[in-house]
Amino acid sequence: MPNENKQINHVAMVGDRTIPPKDARFIEIYIMGQRYKVPETLTILKAMEYVGYQFKRSCGCRGGICGACGTFYRILGDHSIYTGLACQTVVEPGMILAQSPFFPPNRADHIGILDSKMPPDEHIATLYPEIFRCVGCGTCTRTCPMGIDVMNYIALFKRGDVLGGAKESFDCIMCGLCVVRCPANITQMKVGLAGRRIAAAQLIPRSEVTKKRAEQVRAGRYETMLAELGQMDREKLKEIYTSREREPNLSGPGEWMPKDQSHL
């Protein structure tokens, strides 16, 4: 457990970099009710790790799921509640932090319904009728750490514009902060996920490149190359990955060479 009022008299190491620099200025923050001094340039995530807390589960940049480091905080003298992701929010003097607990949001079973003949807008209304409880307060939009206009994409789904709602919600990382602040108990992030899946299944044209690639996979074209990959060392795999093209050609198999993607 971290020590309260920890004295900062050393330079922490992260990889091959020193954090903080020797001339860093320190500020006071509060984590889980205890007071600490941390470098002012750190994010909430690094500040909490700096004083001794560990993020071992869920957190995306620590091997889990991106969006799992949702944090609630206040500033001394300010009664407002603020939200943010610990990985991208920089600490402020007088910040009072508390990690957001897990809230199990309602997730409708939208896998089977995608194969039905129901129109896309009716899909959303059937799966998540709670969207019609939205009062347009804007709390979800103000809460979103990604700057997504959450209230707007819910409004688009309410109007039956599934493709518009899918595009508006595309950058969602499923942190759930909008859900825990919504007074109407709408699970916005799950609504957006369902909308994107419905749009992908019914409204967005299929990629011919993807179709041809799927046919090649089913025909067993890549079995030998997958076996080769399994025998390669990490550095060779990195070389192949960093030299790849985003839209490779579809000619016959070739050699494992940088900038030559015919083997894909």
Say whether the peptide bond before residue 105 is cis (omega within 30 degrees of 0).
no
pLDDT for the residue numbered 70: 82
Residues 129-153 have pLDDT tens digits of: 999 999 999 999 999 988 999 999 9
* 3-state helix, strand and coil shares in percent for the chain, rounded to the nearest 5: 35, 15, 45
pLDDT for the residue numbered 6: 41
| Exposure on the CB side of residue 104, measured as CA atoms within 13 A | 1
Q: Which CATH number fits domain 112-202: 3.40.1350.10, 1.10.1060.10, 1.10.357.10, 3.40.50.300?
A: 1.10.1060.10
Residues in the chain, pLDDT under 70: 1-22, 56-60, 63-65, 101-103, 110-116, 245-264
pLDDT for the residue numbered 201: 85
pLDDT for the residue numbered 13: 47
Please check whether the two domains, 12-99 and 112-202, share a CATH topology: no
Check if the beta carbon of residue 100 is closer than 8 Å to that of residue 180: yes
pLDDT for the residue numbered 49: 87
pLDDT for the residue numbered 218: 94
Per-domain residue ranges for the chain? 12-99, 112-202, 207-259
Q: Which CATH number fits domain 12-99: 3.10.20.740, 3.90.1300.10, 1.10.150.20, 3.60.10.10?
A: 3.10.20.740
Crossing angle between the packed helical segments 188-202 and 120-127, to the nearest 10 degrees: 150
Check if the beta carbon of residue 196 is closer than 8 Å to that of residue 213: no
